[in-house]
Amino acid sequence: MLGPRHRRARDGVAFAVVIEVDNSREDPEEGRRGLREELLPVLRGLPGFQSAQLMAAHERGLGFACVVFATREQAEELAGWFTVGAVIRPGVTVVRNEVIEVVASA
């Protein structure tokens, strides 16, 4: 059962923040470590957090995150941290940032 900070939105509706980054100047091992040990623990502690998929293809200079929250407002709060053009860590620049309704998941 989900606690009050992580409760599903009414009617099963949720909202995802989808973030694309250019990670072409980041050390791949340092990037993986940062995602697992730094970013993921922060995300887990946010109100309304439901899930996160953090993906990297350093050989192509790509990184993606899909972070799901119970409400649009919670998703928009996180999206505000990752504005397009922001350098979020050495060698990583935000390319795209969208808040999208989750219509189905498995």
Residue 4, pLDDT score: 47
SS (H, E, C) the chain: CCCHHHCCCHHHCEEEEEEEEECCCCCHHHHHHHHHHHHHHHHHCCCCEEEEEEEEEHHHCEEEEEEEECCHHHHHHHHCCCCCCCEEECCEEEEEEEEEEECCCC
Q: Into how many domains does the chain fold?
A: 1
Expressed as residue numbers, the domain containing 71 is 4-102
Residue 93, pLDDT score: 98
Residue 16, pLDDT score: 98
**Domain at 60, CATH number:** 3.30.70.100
* Residues 51-66, mean pLDDT to the nearest whole number: 97
Overall pTM surpassing 0.85 (yes/no): yes
